[in-house]
Amino acid sequence: MGEIVMRRISAIFILLILTFVSVHAENQHNEWLDSANQAYTNGDYTQAIDHYEMILEHGYESAALYYNLGNAYYKQNIIDKAILNYERALLLKPNDEDIKYNLEMANRLTVDRIEKLPEFFLDVWFRNSINWFSSNQWAIISISAFVLALIFISIYLYTRKYGIKKLSFWLGLALVLVTIFSLIFSYQQKKKIIIKDTAIVMSPSVTVKSSPDLSGTDLFVIHEGTKVWLQDEVGEWKEIKLSDGSKGWLRTDDIEEI
C-alpha cells in the first residue's frame, strides 16, 4: 500500500515539475516575442531578428512568428531570408492574404523571372481547396463532420418517420464524404510541412550543373530568393526543378529547405 502511495506522489511530483518547466518555457517565449515585437516597432530590425531566431532555436514556431521574421528581414533588404520565412509561414497558414501579399512583394525583388508551366485546372482546384485551411483546421472539420455523421446515422436507424429518415440518410452520407475529404486535405497539408521538398536559393548566384559534381556541364544560373523543388539527393548535391520545368544539380549549401 505504501509503495503505491509513493508511486502516486512521485508521479504527481514529476507532473508538477513538467508543468512548471512548460509554463516557464512558455513565459520565456512570450518575453522574447514581446521584446522582438517591440524592437520591430522601434525600427531595430537586427535585434528583432535575433529574438525571433532565438525563439525558433528553442523549438517554438508559428505562422505569425515566421511572418514577423520575414517582415524584419524584408526591412533589412535581406530578400532571400524574407522569402524563406514567408514561405514557411504560408505552410502553416496557407490561406493568409497578408502572407501571400508580402511574399509576392518580396518575389518581385528577386533577379530571376521564371515562367510557370501551365497546370491542369483540376490540379489547381485541388491545391486551392486544400489551402482553404491548415492541417489542424481540416482535422477539426473532419472530426466534427464524423461526429455529426454518427448522429444523423443514428437518427436514420431509430426513427420511424419516412421524411426524417430520408433527410438524415442524405445528411449523414454528405457528412461522411466531408469527413473523408477533409481528412485527405489535412494529410496533404501535413505532408507539405513534414516532407521538405521545396527550398530557397540562399547564395547570390548559383550555377546549376547537369550532374552532381563540379565537372558537370553548366546548365543555367539562378539567384538568391528563387524557389526550387527538390527531386533527388546525392551526397552534398541535390537535384532541383524550377517552376518552368528546368532541372539540374546544385550543392546543398546553396539552398535552405522551406
Q: Residue 42 and residue 48: Cα distance in Å, rounded?
A: 9
**Residue 26 within a domain:** yes
Q: 12 and 98 share a domain?
A: yes
**Poorest-pLDDT segment among 18-32, 125-139, 196-210, 213-227:** 18-32
Q: 137 and 95 share a domain?
A: no
Task: Provide the residue range defining the domain that includes 8.
Answer: 2-107
Q: What is the pLDDT of residues 72-114, one digit of tens each?
A: 999 999 999 999 999 999 999 988 999 999 999 999 999 998 8
Residue 204, domain CATH: 2.30.30.40
Q: What is the pLDDT of residues 168-183, one digit of tens each?
A: 999 999 999 999 999 9
Q: 93 and 13 share a domain?
A: yes
Grid cell of 142 as nine digits: 473532419
For residue 73, give the 3-state DSSP assignment. helix
Number of domains in the chain: 3
Q: 228 and 211 share a domain?
A: yes
**Residue 227 within a domain:** yes
In this structure, are residues 181 and 130 in contact, taking their beta carbons and an 8 Å threshold? no
Residue 138 or 31, more confident: 138
Q: Residue 250 and residue 258: Cα distance in Å, rounded?
A: 16
**Residue 34 within a domain:** yes
Q: 7 and 92 share a domain?
A: yes
- Residue 257, φ and ψ in degrees, nearest 5: -65, 140
**Residue 252 within a domain:** yes
> What pLDDT score does 130 carry?
87
Q: 13 and 101 share a domain?
A: yes
- Residue 236, φ and ψ in degrees, nearest 5: -90, 10
**Residue 113 within a domain:** no
Q: Residue 77 and residue 106: Cα distance in Å, rounded?
A: 9
**Which of 146, 172, 194 is the last residue in one of the domains?**
194
**Residue 59 within a domain:** yes
Q: What is the pLDDT of residues 186-244, one digit of tens each?
A: 998 888 888 889 999 999 999 999 999 999 999 999 999 999 999 999 999 999 999 99
Q: Residue 62 and residue 10: Cα distance in Å, rounded?
A: 34
